[in-house]
Homo-oligomer: A and B are copies of this chain.
Amino acid sequence: MKRILSTIMLTLAIAGAAQAQELANFSRGNRPVISPEIQGDSVTFRLKADYATVVKLSGSWMANPYGGTIDMTRGEGNIWSVKIPLPSPEIYTYNFVVDGVAVNDPQNVLVQRDGTRYLPMLIVPGERTGNYGEAKTHGTVSHPWYDSQILGYSRRLTVYTPYGYENNPKKKYPVLYLLHGAGGDEEAWISMGRTAQILDNLIEKGLAEPMIVVMPNGNPGQQAARTLNIPEKTNVNWRSEEFRNAYVRSLCTEIVPFIEKNFRAIPKPASRAIAGLSMGGGHTISASILYPELFDYICPLSAAGSATPEQIAALKKAGVKLYFLACGSADFLFEGSKTLDKTLTEQGLDHEFFVSDGGHTWANWRLYLNTFAPKLFK
C-alpha cells in the first residue's frame, strides 16, 4: 500500500493540468504565497497577479467609517502585497480587487458564505473571538428536512446537537430556535454566525447548558438555501392574508413538533428559547405574540419588529424567564429597539436591553449569541 501510494503521488505530479481540478489539496503543499499572514500587530495580504495593472484590498473592517479600498504594491515575482495594522479582534471578510474585479484570496482556506457569495475570512485572535475558533469537542451539525403543510413543501433545517448527544442516549436537551435575517438562509448562523464553534466552546467551558440549536430557513418562498438549486416559489403572494405569519406558524406548529419528535428535546416552555436577528428578530417577536406560552426565553436581536402594550401584557401573563433585547447603537433599527425596550419597561416585563457598539452586523450577532446563550435554561 505504501509503495503504491508513493507511485500515485509521483504519477499525479506528472499528470499535470488536465487532472488539476480533481486534486486541489495537492497543489497547496508547497505554496510560495502566504495570505493573510498575521505578524504581531500587523497583517499582510498577498496575491500573485502577473498581468494586473491595479490590485487593491477591500476589507469589512474598512467599511465604516473609512470606506473604500487600499492599494497593494507589486513585488518580486508579481506578488502584490499590503501590510496593515491588525484590526481589533473580530472575524472580518475581505477580497482583492484586480483591475476592478472582486477576487477571493486563493491562499485562504477559511471562507464564509453570505447568501450566494463566498468570502475569505480574517480571524483576529483575542478575547472577543475566543469562542469563535474550533473547540476541542464538537457537536454534530445536521440538515434534516421537515414537511410543511402550511408552506406546501419540504424544507431544509440546520440542527446542532451538542457534544455528548450520541454518547448519552437517555439524556434530553433544551432547544434554542435561532433565526436568521432577510438575505440569510438556514446556514447563515452556522457560516457567518459561528454557532457551532460558539456553542462548542461555551458548553466545553461549562458556561452554557448543553442544548440543541435549530436554524430554519426564514424565507417562506425557499425550500432551502439558494445554493441548492431548488427554484424559489414565486407564484405565491406570501404577503396575502392566507400566508400571514405563515413562516412563524410553520416554525411554532410544524418545526417545533418535528424537532421534539426526531431529537431528544425536552418538550416544555422552560426548555425552549427563541432568538433571531433583524427579520428573524421580527419573527421572534411575532412568535412570542402568537404563541405566548411556547417559549420561556425570548431574544430579539437588532430586531425588525415591535409589540403593543397589550401583546406585552399577554406575554407577561404567560410568564417569561428571560427577555433579552439586543441592538447596536449605530444600527438603523436602534430606535425601534429603544421603543420596544420602553414598552417592555412600561408593561413591567423584566428584561435585559443589551446595547453594543456598531450596527447591523454579524460581528454584533456573534457577540449577542455568545452573550445570551449562557443565560438560557438556567
* Chain A residues within CB distance 8 Å of chain B: 1-2, 4-5, 8-9, 11-12, 15, 17-26, 28, 47-54, 60, 63-64, 67, 93, 96, 98-104, 106, 109-111, 114-119, 123, 133-134, 137-138, 140-145, 154, 156, 163, 166, 181-185, 192, 226-230, 239, 245, 258, 261-262, 278-279, 282, 286, 304-306, 332-333, 336, 359-362
Q: Are A25 and B116 neighbours in the complex by a CB distance under 8 Å?
A: yes
Q: Are B99 and A49 neighbours in the complex by a CB distance under 8 Å?
A: yes
Q: Are B137 and A154 neighbours in the complex by a CB distance under 8 Å?
A: yes
A111 partner residues in chain B, CB cutoff 8 A: 118, 227
Q: Are B116 and A28 neighbours in the complex by a CB distance under 8 Å?
A: yes
Q: Are B137 and A19 neighbours in the complex by a CB distance under 8 Å?
A: no
Q: Are B118 and A183 neighbours in the complex by a CB distance under 8 Å?
A: no
The answer for the CA separation of A227 and B104 in the assembled complex, in Å, is 15
The answer for the CA separation of A229 and B54 in the assembled complex, in Å, is 31
Q: Are B8 and A333 neighbours in the complex by a CB distance under 8 Å?
A: yes
**A183-B145 contact in complex given A2-B239, A110-B229, C-beta closer than 8 Å:** no
Q: Are B23 and A182 neighbours in the complex by a CB distance under 8 Å?
A: yes
Q: Are A104 and B101 neighbours in the complex by a CB distance under 8 Å?
A: no
The answer for the CA separation of A321 and B228 in the assembled complex, in Å, is 35
The answer for the CA separation of A1 and B9 in the assembled complex, in Å, is 59
Q: Are A5 and B103 neighbours in the complex by a CB distance under 8 Å?
A: no
> What residue in chain B is nearest A55 (Cβ atoms)?
B101
**A109-B226 contact in complex given A99-B99, A137-B154, C-beta closer than 8 Å:** yes
A106 partner residues in chain B, CB cutoff 8 A: 102, 117
- Among B109, B156, B166, contact of A229 (Cβ-Cβ < 8 Å): B109
The answer for the CA separation of A192 and B24 in the assembled complex, in Å, is 12
- Among B28, B47, B184, contact of A25 (Cβ-Cβ < 8 Å): B184
> What residue in chain B is nearest A100 (Cβ atoms)?
B51
**A50-B100 contact in complex given A1-B286, A24-B117, A117-B24, C-beta closer than 8 Å:** yes
Q: Are B144 and A140 neighbours in the complex by a CB distance under 8 Å?
A: yes
Q: Are A138 and B154 neighbours in the complex by a CB distance under 8 Å?
A: yes
Give the residue among A23, A49, A137 with the most B Cβ atoms within 10 A.
A23
> What residue in chain B is nearest A238 (Cβ atoms)?
B2
Q: List 5 contacting pairs A-B, 8 Å CB cutoff, sorted by A.
A: A17-B63, A22-B183, A23-B182, A109-B116, A145-B163
Q: Are A98 and B103 neighbours in the complex by a CB distance under 8 Å?
A: yes
- Among B15, B22, B63, contact of A21 (Cβ-Cβ < 8 Å): B63
Q: Are B262 and A359 neighbours in the complex by a CB distance under 8 Å?
A: no
- Please give me the 5 A-B residue pairs with the lowest Cβ-Cβ distance, nearest first: A142-B142, A24-B115, A51-B100, A25-B115, A25-B183
The answer for the CA separation of A89 and B25 in the assembled complex, in Å, is 27
